[in-house]
Structure 1
Amino acid sequence: MSEANGTSVNLKTSPVGGGGVPLADVVARQLETLLEAGNYDGAKLLLQPVQEVDIAEAIGTLPRTLQALAFRLLPKDEAIEVYEYLDPSVQQTLLDRLRSGEVLELVEKMSPDDRVRLFDELPAKVVRRLLAELSPAERRVTAQLLGYEAETAGRLMTTEFIDLKEFHSAAQALELVRRRARETETVYSLYVTDGSRHLTGILSLRDLVVADPQARIGDVMTREVVSVSTETDQEEVARAIQRYDFLAVPVVDREQRLVGIVTVDDVIDVIEQEATRDLYAAGAVQAGDEDDYFQSNLFTVARRRVVWLSVLVVANGFTSEVIALQGKVLSQVVVLAAFIPLLIGTGGNVGAQSSTVVIRGLSTQRIQSLGATRTILREAVAGALLGVLMLVVVVPWAWWRGEGPLVGLSVGMSLLAITTLAATAGAALPLLFDRLGLDPALMSAPFITTATDVAGVFIYLQTAGWLIGRLGTG
């Protein structure tokens, strides 16, 4: 219970503040008040029972002039953990405002994987300076991780793990875990290597604790180990951890030597990053540094969005051209123009729905068991069924509004063809991109909608022209 500034808030047990306000917001408001009043002892007292992640969020919402001040109030060990939770923009602000000695100590004590993520956000000149000032051991580890390709297991992993030997007894292994527990990322998964550091087995902390103290690790470990290579894409790493319910997955190099582990908390960040990227692509927003999108200036925001919009504007120009070329049909039956928005809107929505479910199915790998051909056929049939269901409402209305069968038949036949085509295209184009090794999310809802707009108008006016030749305009 904190009594700072005369306000009592149960910070240990409440996930939110009073009235449903997030805890970090409550802490941030009180912390800002205390810092502006110069009550540093009260600020320290306020932060003592708060979890590191909530402290990081609270510091991130403070004015920049107070962020470094609040950070300096934290004990050194806690400051390292809080710093790793901060947004990259706040981390850079603190690096600018802290003294060089404080910065070096902060970076030196960070986990290798968190240090690499920080370096990815910093200018190359700053990274080179910080690398040169690190201790030889930390410099070597950091350079090793930076040497792997971005968004791979090698770049994502940490080298802080516990490896045991098969000849160790359970008692010896447990003593080793006790000694190294504080300096490792996790102790719940323990890995066994041979003299050349090849991964030979795995056991959980539970297995170690319940084993006979004199039992050899080689006799109690599991030899069937699921691992990933340093070149494995981070999405594949996330799927492996999800599939097997791991807390961590070992990472091996080309010689099957254990070089690191990827933990579940890092995978959660990957899942968020990839989901954000896919959502941006689905909204026809150019990929960029997704995490700082809402802190970007307006020119950067416009630049990211204008690329796809320009492409879509050009594509929509074809719709106008199709309408212009079919001007004779529209001049004969003007009321046909009233149904163009309905048809292209329906086609665009059906196509967007199909592309969304297929892109998501590819992302989660749920679609692989069905196969590309069956997936496209399934969506085509679904599109046809949707068209038939909509005919029940649309055709009678179009017949009545057009004062005869011409408009009703044109709309009905076109609607069935458009929904079937839109669903087929919405499923086929993402699958085609995936087969070509491109990002299926590029076949986003706006792109599918625009493509079906052009095709839908063409089908509708061609159908109407054909019917005019058969039925006449009367």
Structure 2
Amino acid sequence: MEERTRLLGESLKGLLEEGKMSASLALLDGLQPADAAEVLETLPYDDRLRIFKVWDVEESADALPEMSEGGQVEVMQGLARSLATRIISEMPPDDAVDLLADLPDKTSDGILASMSPFKAGQLRRLMAHGEDTAGGLMTPDAMRLSQEMRVGQVLERLREAPESVEMIYYVYFQDEASRLTGVSSLRELIVADLNRPVKEIMHGQLMTVAPEEDQERVAALIDRYDLLAIPVVDGEDRLLGIVTVDDVMDVLEEEAKEDIYGLAGTFEIEEQKERHPFIGVLLGRLPWVLIALTIELLVAGGILRAFSGRIRDNIALVFFIPVILTIGATVSLQSATRMTVEITTDPGKRRRFRRSIAGEALIGLGIGVLSGVVISLFAWSMKGDARLGWVVGLALVIATMFSALVGSLLPLLLKMSGRDPAMASEPFLTTLMDVLGLAVYFLIGIALL
């Protein structure tokens, strides 16, 4: 926690203890919504609830979406339904939908029933889309006007636009059938002649996404084409809403966390994590550990038993098993991490992926050759047997090259099969490389010793 947040939280708590509610609200009003939310989450639950019960509804609607999901749910469940309804009605539609989805069905249904029919219908339509799709991420409050207007008329409408319009930098134009036909930036409209038809300045070819498009793909498009927003259209090109860059930043942060946790084999069960953090984390990590343990016992153990006779005759082979396994696992994880980053940040460049895989294999070969020379000389000097040096060095070269190849291929294969590339996690890769490294090592040992 930042020092500033801690100090503000202590000041706010002190004001509440002294019964100075007006001063408490004034302190929060002077902060940005994100800062106010962070300060509020330092308070005990009862104090937070006291503030939201008397705080201005618009201020509450600005700060609440910046709080953690659990914090938002706690506040909503502690407020009277009428006040909770007013706050959610003031929130941006995409944030309101996210919060309603986190609430128990009975609570969210009650809040929707208390809203105006128009607002409730708008939110229900958004809730019909998948949470991780463009439809679930979009806001319907986009500036949409007729393509038959002139620039001066458009600017006049912009001046009259309600505050609920989230992205006014882009103005979208549609025909008589409400089909999206073009877009213009605010700058283009400001510098254009007021009597000029917008048809002459709008861009007719624009990037759009369908409501069922995955949020990760939407984020990649906005990032790749440097957009501030991207329109979401139905099958008839009618504008349903827009996904803005601030929503995409949240997606990128969420996906980055998932990928980092995934590479470490720490996927967590979100439903359990919210209610029982220990159980959620345990259930998320335990399967990978059990899979790794099973493979190690059955496969790796079987390889060791199969070569037990050769090991007894050449006990020095045992000394170098940790070296083969450690270097192989390290190289495979490095390759998997690099490929996962490439896939998640720029999923469209398949040709570059092929070059990356070939490059990783060459890097693995280079690491294997350099490491193999060093370890083979050490093995030779330790026992005075050149054949042992050849076995260890050659096994390290082959195992390292294949480790890099498998580590870079696995995330791509997972992505092509529709799975998260981060599932190529460290426990799984380490176990796979243990099996591969042992098999290569002892097969070469049989051939040369």
Out of 52-61 and 356-365, give the one that drifted further.
356-365
1:25 shift after superposition: 2.7
Q: Which amino acid aligns with 2:265?
A: A
Secondary structure at the counterpart of residue 180 of structure 1: coil
Match of residue 301 from structure 1: 281
Q: Which amino acid aligns with 1:443?
A: A
Aligned residues: 448
> Identity of aligned pairs, percent?
32
The answer to whether the aligner puts 1:355 opposite 2:304 as a matched pair is no
The answer to whether the aligner puts 1:180 opposite 2:161 as a matched pair is yes
Task: Give the 3 Å change call, closer, same or farther, for CA 22–257 of structure 1 in structure 2.
Answer: farther
The answer to whether the aligner puts 1:460 opposite 2:441 as a matched pair is yes
- Which of the residues 227, 232, 238 maps onto 2:219? 238
Quick check: 2:15–2:21 contact (8 Å CA) kept in 1? yes
Task: Give the 3 Å change call, closer, same or farther, for CA 35–358 of structure 1 in structure 2.
Answer: same
Looking at structure 1, the residues matched to 419 and 102 of structure 2 have their Cα atoms a distance apart, in angstroms, of 26
Task: Give the 3 Å change call, closer, same or farther, for CA 201–367 of structure 1 in structure 2.
Answer: closer
Quick check: 1:60–1:67 contact (8 Å CA) kept in 2? yes
1:37 shift after superposition: 2.5
Looking at structure 1, the residues matched to 39 and 179 of structure 2 have their Cα atoms a distance apart, in angstroms, of 44
Out of 126-135 and 350-359, give the one that drifted further.
126-135
Quick check: 1:312–1:450 contact (8 Å CA) kept in 2? yes
1:286 shift after superposition: 2.8
Q: Which amino acid aligns with 1:403?
A: G
Looking at structure 2, the residues matched to 215 and 23 of structure 1 have their Cα atoms a distance apart, in angstroms, of 51
1:296 shift after superposition: 4.5
1:402 shift after superposition: 2.5
Looking at structure 2, the residues matched to 449 and 65 of structure 1 have their Cα atoms a distance apart, in angstroms, of 47
Residues 16-95 of structure 1: pairs in structure 2 closer than 5 A:
21-95=2-76
Quick check: 1:356–1:445 contact (8 Å CA) kept in 2? no
Task: Give the 3 Å change call, closer, same or farther, for CA 244–316 of structure 1 in structure 2.
Answer: same
Q: Which runs of 5+ in 1 are unaligned?
A: 1-19, 469-474
Match of residue 316 from structure 1: 296
Match of residue 205 from structure 1: 186
1:467 shift after superposition: 2.2
The answer to whether the aligner puts 1:289 opposite 2:270 as a matched pair is yes
Q: Which amino acid aligns with 2:137?
A: L
Secondary structure at the counterpart of residue 163 of structure 1: strand
Looking at structure 1, the residues matched to 218 and 207 of structure 2 have their Cα atoms a distance apart, in angstroms, of 11
Q: Write the deviation string for residues 106-143 of structure 1: whole angstroms up to 9, x where unpaired.
A: 12222211111112211222222222222100111111
Secondary structure at the counterpart of residue 398 of structure 1: helix
Quick check: 1:148–1:154 contact (8 Å CA) kept in 2? yes
Task: Give the 3 Å change call, closer, same or farther, for CA 259–456 of structure 1 in structure 2.
Answer: same
Out of 456-465 and 292-301, give the one that drifted further.
292-301
1:289 shift after superposition: 2.7
Q: Which runs of 5+ in 2 are unaligned?
A: none
Looking at structure 1, the residues matched to 40 and 316 of structure 2 have their Cα atoms a distance apart, in angstroms, of 62
- Which of the residues 110, 124, 127 maps onto 2:105? 124
The two structures have a TM-score, normalised by structure 2, of 0.94
1:390 shift after superposition: 0.9
1:42 shift after superposition: 2.6
1:287 shift after superposition: 4.6
Looking at structure 2, the residues matched to 79 and 332 of structure 1 have their Cα atoms a distance apart, in angstroms, of 75
The two structures have a TM-score, normalised by structure 1, of 0.90
Match of residue 83 from structure 2: 102
- Which of the residues 320, 341, 349 maps onto 2:322? 341
Quick check: 1:35–1:70 contact (8 Å CA) kept in 2? no
Secondary structure at the counterpart of residue 320 of structure 2: helix
Quick check: 1:281–1:287 contact (8 Å CA) kept in 2? no
Q: Which amino acid aligns with 1:401?
A: M
Secondary structure at the counterpart of residue 251 of structure 1: strand
Match of residue 419 from structure 2: 438
Q: Aligned-residue CA RMSD in angstroms? A: 2.0
1:165 shift after superposition: 1.2
Q: Which amino acid aligns with 1:454?
A: V
